[in-house]
Structure 1
Amino acid sequence: MHDVDKDLLSIQEARIVLETAKDAQYLMKEYEQDFFHNLIRVMIREIRPLIGAYVSCEIQETGKGCQKEKEAFVLRFLEAMEAEVGDRTYIGATAKDSAGKILHVGVPLGVIPVLLPSENVVINTLYSLFAGLQSANAMIAIPHVKATKTATQVIKKIQQIGLSNGLPRGSISCIDYLTECGTKEIVNSPIAAMILVLGQKKYTDTTIPKRPMIYGGSGATPVFIERSANTQAAVKMIVESRAYDCGLLPASEQYLIVESTVAEEVKKELIQNGAYFLSKEEETKLVSLLQPKNDGIHESCVGKSAVWLAKNAGISLPPSTRILVSEQSYLHDQDPFVNEMSCPILAFYREPDWQHACEKAIHLLQEKNDGHTLAIHSNEQMIINEFALKKPVARMVVNAAASFSSMGLGSTLPLSPILGGFTRGLGISAENITPASLTYTREISYASNGYFKEESTRDNIHDIQVQTQLLEKVLKKMLEK
């Protein structure tokens, strides 16, 4: 009976939260863009001293990631975000012509539920709320059942800062009675304008088709080292990217494809940078620990260090090891290392030339439909162009660390930890999700060539000509009589 009561409470709370958010968003539409920009600056400034405590709570609650690296990443991301706040207008007049006429108007979508993940909880919670606020949407945050404490702390703090700075009550909501029934009540509600799903893939099949859905997930990224690349720099970036925060960053490299002429050099560099190549016996032990299930790995292995994985698999290795490498001769659908793995494991493939590497990357991306990003290290522009033209991905990172660059840190891509999963067959967007993704554009049209006026004049002339001809015929008949 207790479970039933909780479900009923959750459904009732969901309905109240939806109505409150709807009312709040109606008020938010009247706010100017500058209000939201200033609000985000205040929120970043007030939340920054608390990041250490939030990250510590996340590590304790989820058991995923590295405290020091996760905290450094969140602070770095917030610094980058603060630097670009105010650079772009998302709502109201977003484009005008030289005469001051409004051409485009950014319009908020409305009420947006966001289903938060169990990984990278702090940064995803903060960014999804900030993106929603900058685009004047009311956000309903639904924590992951395995990360409710962390997410709730962050959401409540953002709520408090918002209310203290003039944000309508209900602009940011959090579900306290978290059940499947309550969650489905929200995502299936006609009040929800769009669903933002982060990592919780099961909900991508439960949303009503009429409700657009954006999916953001980690993804398994192939990276190719071509013979012209600076192998030393490339390997250093790959290891750093894959090992960072125990492999939890989105789009971190999972498959390393190397041109055979530089394969041994790459292996040597990998070992010098903290990679450990597994023997076949050690691979078997590791697979037993990972226990591939539903195209993934056992939850207990997600976000764990290479040393932890090796120890629990019964493998002895140097304590300085940062990533585990499995060298594969070929690709097949039963290969457990093809599955997406959010931990510091790298599959290593050799190919005779860049054409074969190109095909291997496509096969890896399509095998489990898990890839939305590709990385390449090369100094041959023609080869880079060929990869760019043929790969079924949303973003390609060139000569940089895939994880950081894909999120717009130190790259030309938009700043966002939410990488759209359209190329994985999930959601409606393949782009880095920004506040602009949570709006639509109203286009304003002005008359340019007097089309209707000309047509009207032409019609009048035609009518006069017809009437004149008719009059002439009548007069002619009269004269004949």
Structure 2
Amino acid sequence: MAARAAQREFAHASQAEVDRICAAMADAVYRDAARLGQLATDETGYGVPAHKRIKVEFASRTVWESIRDIPTVGVLRRDDARGVVEIGWPVGVVVGLCPSTNPNSTAVYKVLISVKARNACIIAPHPSAKACTYEAVRLMIEAGERAGMPRGLVGCMQEVSLPGSQELMRHYATSMILATGGTPMVRAAHSMGKPALGVGPGNVPVYVDRSADVLAAATAIVNSKSFDCSTICATEQSVVVDAPVAAQLRAEMERLGAHFVTPTQKAALERTVFTPGGGMNPGAVGRTPQALAALAGIDVPAHARILVAELGSVGREEPLSAEKLTTVLGWYVADGWRAGCERSIELLRFGGDGHSLVIHATDDDVVMAFGLEKPAFRILVNTWGTLGAIGATTGVMPAMTLAPGGIGGAVVSDNITVTHLLNVKRLAFALHEPPAAAYEHAPDVRGAPRHDGSRAAGAAPRPRVPGVPDPSPPGTDQVDRIVRRVLSQLGGGP
């Protein structure tokens, strides 16, 4: 209730006020990114503190820079030719569910895109990451309120439980749910009877074509897979390499820290990474190769940065062909890009539909074929899957929530940003008279136009109603008058 009251007050804020508050929150978190990254690793046991810091910096500074100049208050756009004026309007109270893998960085991002659209935002942390998530949100609340943000506009659950999160999602004052996390949590969000924007699993294949710069591909794959111990859902999960360059790619990856496991070690990893029921083992998520080896009872070199298992098929009979949010990578060899294409589609359909795919190639025809044919909405070319999909190394919108579209169970296929949390009102002025047939059964009222545009005999001119625009085509002058009036009332402008 406090969030809804604060949001109704904040709905009258000007664009300058909104931007000042968001900038203050982003700056506060950015300055403390190293501490927040360490807190996330300490609490969850996942990943690498220095990489967590990079994620927090991305979620604060990079995300803010991407949305800073997007108008969200008052008149957003106008189209004189169509007689349409678009006006920004908030959604209301946004509930942001955050995962344990990227806990405080996801919270920072969700608060920023919500408040930029004049929404309230309540963060629901993962139970195993509630302290580090709350600390990031606390910093944002303090900075935002110093900059003029209404008290209660941003909040974070501190007593975290499944029933509590469910009650928050279904509360009558909740307007929208922004869900990032595991499949059960996202499905729960979609079942609450509220508008929900969610993610999907990311069983991301990376195809390396014979036309690729093999050294660059090997470098990108090993660095991306080892980044924060593979806790971003867009991380490469299996390599599909074109046969003529397979030996070269393997040698380069081994030189860079990829350790190819034996069949016996592979079987031990299968039992370690997944539970007997086939789900991911939380104890194996976000672990270094050495930590995984200790859990699995196998030996791996101290210099190993990722573990690679050779796979022969895709499906339940080959567990490591599924998504693995840890430093284990699958390996397939395909003869030609068409075979690589088919294998990539198999992997996407085995738990990654609609999410992301990486391709390393210099043959434009091959790149375009993958772009046209793959059931993934982020096709990343010659870059890291981890950082490319979130918009750190590519031109896609910076985001920590990557929607997989209809085929992945989501409403949209975008990187979720402020425009998804912004409603748009449209002033639409009459440009044309209705078609003549629309008047055929209308009574011939004195002063009203006939179906042929003429007036009844002896009719007086139609009276003007104060404050109601004439329904004739408005022209630029009338649109200008209305825009000036809207601006004076809402305190914003294009």
Q: TM-score range by the shorter chain?
A: 0.7 to 0.9
Report the equivalent of 1:459.
452
Report the equivalent of 1:163.
145
Coordinate RMSD, CA, aligned: 2.4
Q: Work out whether residues 118 and 147 of structure 1, in 8 Å CA contact, stay in contact via their aligned partners in 2.
A: yes
- Which residue identity lines up with residue 394 of structure 1 in the other structure? F
Which structure: larger Rg?
1
Q: Specify whether residues 294 and 215 from structure 1 end up closer, same or farther in structure 2 by C-alpha distance, changes over 3 A only.
A: farther
Deviation at 1:203, TM superposition (A): 3.1
Between the aligned partners of 2:455 and 2:88, the Cα distance in structure 1 is 44
Between the aligned partners of 2:417 and 2:121, the Cα distance in structure 1 is 14
Pick which of 217-226 and 354-363 moved more: 217-226
Q: Specify whether residues 447 and 102 from structure 1 end up closer, same or farther in structure 2 by C-alpha distance, changes over 3 A only.
A: closer
Report the equivalent of 1:122.
104
Between the aligned partners of 2:436 and 2:154, the Cα distance in structure 1 is 50
Report the equivalent of 1:300.
283
Report the equivalent of 1:210.
193
What 5-or-longer segments of structure 2 have no aligned partner? Answer: 440-448, 458-494
Deviation at 1:252, TM superposition (A): 0.8
Aligned residue runs from structure 1 range 73-472, under 5 A? 73-97=55-79, 103-207=85-189, 208=191, 210-216=193-199, 219-292=202-275, 295-369=278-352, 372-423=355-406, 425-451=408-434, 456=449, 459=452
Q: Runs of at least 4 residues of structure 1 off by over 4 A?
A: 98-102, 450-455, 460-464
Q: Work out whether residues 369 and 424 of structure 1, in 8 Å CA contact, stay in contact via their aligned partners in 2.
A: no
Q: Specify whether residues 284 and 27 from structure 1 end up closer, same or farther in structure 2 by C-alpha distance, changes over 3 A only.
A: same
1:362-383 Cα deviation digits (max 9, x unpaired): 1111123466001111112222
Q: Normalization by structure 2: what TM-score? A: 0.84
Between the aligned partners of 2:455 and 2:121, the Cα distance in structure 1 is 59
Between the aligned partners of 1:47 and 1:55, the Cα distance in structure 2 is 11
Between the aligned partners of 1:148 and 1:285, the Cα distance in structure 2 is 32
Pick which of 25-34 and 363-372 moved more: 363-372
Relative to its length, the structure with more helix (as a share) is 1
Q: Specify whether residues 182 and 291 from structure 1 end up closer, same or farther in structure 2 by C-alpha distance, changes over 3 A only.
A: closer
Q: Work out whether residues 38 and 52 of structure 2, in 8 Å CA contact, stay in contact via their aligned partners in 1.
A: no
- Which residue identity lines up with residue 60 of structure 1 in the other structure? D
Report the equivalent of 2:445.
none
2:87 partner SS: strand
- Which residue identity lines up with residue 356 of structure 2 in the other structure? T
Q: Work out whether residues 212 and 427 of structure 1, in 8 Å CA contact, stay in contact via their aligned partners in 2.
A: no
Q: Work out whether residues 297 and 339 of structure 1, in 8 Å CA contact, stay in contact via their aligned partners in 2.
A: no
What 5-or-longer segments of structure 1 have no aligned partner? Answer: 1-18, 465-481
Q: Normalization by structure 1: what TM-score? A: 0.87
Between the aligned partners of 1:200 and 1:298, the Cα distance in structure 2 is 12
Aligned length: 446
Deviation at 1:282, TM superposition (A): 1.1
Deviation at 1:423, TM superposition (A): 4.9
- Which residue identity lines up with residue 415 of structure 1 in the other structure? P
Between the aligned partners of 1:184 and 1:330, the Cα distance in structure 2 is 39
Report the equivalent of 1:470.
none
Between the aligned partners of 1:34 and 1:201, the Cα distance in structure 2 is 38
Instruction: State the identity as a percent.
Output: 26
Residue 36 of structure 1, aligned match among 18, 22, 37 = 18
